[in-house]
Amino acid sequence: ISGKITEVKVRDIRFPTSLEHHGSDAMHGEVDYSAAYVTVETDSNDDIIGCGITFSLGRGNDILVKAIEAIQGLVIGRELSNIYSNFGKFWREITQEGQLRWLGPEKGVVHMAAAGMFNALWDLWGKKAGKPLWKLLADMSPLEVVNLVDFSYITDAITKQEAMDILTRNKTSQKEREDQLLKRGFPAYTTSTAWLGYSDETLVKKCQEALAQGWTKFKMKVGSDIDDDVRRANIIRDQIGYDRDLMMDANQKWDVNEAIEWMKPLVKFRPLWIEEPTSPDDVIGHATIAKALKEHKVGVATGEQCQNRVIFKQLMQTNAVSFVQIDSCRVGSINENIAILLMAAKFNLPVCPHAGGVGLCELVQHIIMFDYLCVSATTDGRVCEYVDHLHEHFVEPVRIKDASYMSPQKPGYSSEMKAESLDNYEFPNGTIWSNLIKEGKFKM
């Protein structure tokens, strides 16, 4: 790939989802799904622009924009051939930059900023290669994949050679899985039916709509009030029955012992997992909860706010996680997510990605499809989250058929947003926001 990066732009894009309580949970009451939206331009004459996002809940999205601007200078002027010929090395150069790393390292705003930048660089690579990213990755040799990854701090859990072995053993059967993927897609579950701020009537209506659309796996929010959780779980089980799967998500609400206690009246609803029962940094706490819930056959899921591959490693090493929830915008883009997929394969744990928000479904579908084709090589016990909001703003929105993600076909990472949406939802001066502010519906 020839050419040089000439420009990186970042925009603060926000959607007023709080107006209808979409996205609400026990810790994040009123949220405005937002994207720090990155575009990367080059000096080639092909009009191709790499588009990437990183995700936030509204306030603070401007901080993400600033953090991405802080790495702009490290990217502008770089030759594409130099970046992509050893992408793992370039990833390390950016995430370990001697001054910026003090703000992380590899965690929080700076790491999410790196995710936004690398997501745009991945989109650019896919578009230049003329392939959707799942396919670009799937067509790489095991060695090329391994070279995308920074193995520092995880070699006690997985070596490069072990990663090569995992990728190599799956190559011969890859074609069959690709045929399956193109026909059937990758299995999904829905979270859109049971946000915490929805009334009981909305809950029933949304469950019925989802059942009519063929959904078989559902996630509900818990953790604000135990009686409320029991009532809502009853409503949902009444609607979906016990042949379908139900997952529960506490979004970090509890202390460790509180989580174990709180789950006691909920285990009778047979949740497949309890998600984020406690602080995302508490590895031992997750292990304690997982051990206590094992007899009830309730797994522990976590990852959407897991800061990097090191914490994922520890969660896996200590049996603290039963479902690994990678996220496309929290850790350092595809490069770091591949490290997590490889560790999950080594520890024999299913990866069930976190998605939703704005654009998270569009992006993470590529990663889980690559996992199916080249890393785990199975869909057994695997399911990718789906949330039915804001897809209309994307040039290639996700396609769901029979409760499965159908594989994206356009070149790139499906991360490009429509120009009109960007203009309307730019914060605070886009038309949507200036009207809301004028009408007094939003306070700065």
Ligand X SMILES: C[C@H](O)[C@@H](O)CC(=O)C(=O)O
**Whose Cβ is closer to ligand X: residue 303's or residue 411's?**
303
**Whose Cβ is closer to ligand X: residue 251's or residue 314's?**
251
Rounded least distance, CB 254 to ligand X, Å: 14
For residue 76, is it left (φ>0), alpha (ψ between -120 and 50) or beta?
Answer: beta
**Contact pick of 25, 32, 282, 327 for ligand X (by CB under 6 A):** 25
Q: Which of 176, 94, 83, 67 is nearest to 121 (CA)?
A: 83
Report if residue 32 touches ligand X, rule: CB under 6 A.
Answer: no
**Contact pick of 5, 31, 203, 274 for ligand X (by CB under 6 A):** 31
Please identify which residue in the block is written with the tokens 């007094």.
440
CB 317, CB 157: distance < 8 Å? yes
Alpha helices per DSSP H over 213-301: 226-240, 256-263, 283-294
Alpha helices per DSSP H over 130-199: 133-138, 142-146, 160-169, 174-184
Taking CB under 6 A as the criterion, which residues in 79-138 touch ligand X? none
Give the catalytic positions in this structure.
Answer: 221, 354
Report if residue 354 touches ligand X, rule: CB under 6 A.
Answer: yes
**Whose Cβ is closer to ligand X: residue 219's or residue 313's?**
219
Instruction: Report d(CA 317, CA 41) in Å as an integer.
Output: 41
Taking CB under 6 A as the criterion, which residues in 369-388 touch ligand X? 385
**Whose Cβ is closer to Mg ion: residue 106's or residue 275's?**
275
**How open is the CA angle 339-72-408, to the nearest 5 degrees?**
50
Instruction: Report d(CA 376, CA 156) in Å as an integer.
Output: 20
Encoded tokens for 149: 């990854």
Q: Which stretch binds ligand X (CB under 6 A): 22-30, 44-52, 203-211, 223-231?
A: 22-30
Rounded least distance, CB 127 to Mg ion, Å: 30
Report if residue 385 touches Mg ion, rule: CB under 5 A.
Answer: no
**Whose Cβ is closer to ligand X: residue 356's or residue 412's?**
356
Q: How far apart are the two ends of the chain, measured CA to CA in Å?
A: 44
CB 67, CB 113: distance < 8 Å? yes
Please identify which residue in the block is written with the tokens 């810790």.
27
Rounded least distance, CB 384 to Mg ion, Å: 13
Report if residue 356 touches ligand X, rule: CB under 6 A.
Answer: yes
Rounded least distance, CB 361 to ligand X, Å: 10
Residue 31, helix vs strand vs coil: coil
Taking CB under 5 A as the criterion, which residues in 268-287 touch Mg ion? 275
**Contact pick of 304, 327, 336, 362 for ligand X (by CB under 6 A):** 304
Look at the chain and count its residues.
444
CB 157, CB 316: distance < 8 Å? yes
Rounded least distance, CB 26 to ligand X, Å: 8
359 binds, among Mg ion, ligand X, none (CB under 5 to 8 A by kind): none
Instruction: Report d(CA 110, CA 103) in Å as an integer.
Output: 7
Taking CB under 6 A as the criterion, which residues in 175-194 touch ligand X? 191
**Contact pick of 249, 327, 416, 426 for ligand X (by CB under 6 A):** 249
Please identify which residue in the block is written with the tokens 């930048």.
117
Transcribe 80-133 into DSSP letters: HHHHHHTHHHHHHHHHT-TTGGGG-SSSHHHHHHHHHHHHHHHHHHHHHHTSBH
Residue 424, helix vs strand vs coil: helix
Report if residue 23 touches ligand X, rule: CB under 6 A.
Answer: yes
Q: Which stretch binds ligand X (CB under 6 A): 21-29, 89-97, 198-206, 291-299?
A: 21-29
- Count of residues binding ligand X (CB under 6 A)? 12
Instruction: Report d(CA 384, CA 405) in Å as an integer.
Output: 8
Q: What is the CA radius of gyration of the chain?
A: 21
Q: At what angle do helices 108-129 and 333-346 cross, to 10 degrees?
A: 100
**Contact pick of 229, 249, 282, 416 for Mg ion (by CB under 5 A):** 249
Report if residue 21 touches ligand X, rule: CB under 6 A.
Answer: no
Alpha helices per DSSP H over 241-373: 256-263, 283-294, 309-317, 333-346, 360-370
**Whose Cβ is closer to ligand X: residue 150's or residue 249's?**
249
**Whose Cβ is closer to Mg ion: residue 275's or residue 371's?**
275
388 binds, among Mg ion, ligand X, none (CB under 5 to 8 A by kind): none
Rounded least distance, CB 251 to ligand X, Å: 5
Give the interface with Mg ion as residue ranges (CB under 5 A): 249, 275
Give the interface with ligand X as residue ranges (CB under 6 A): 23, 25, 28, 31, 57, 191, 249, 251, 304, 354, 356, 385
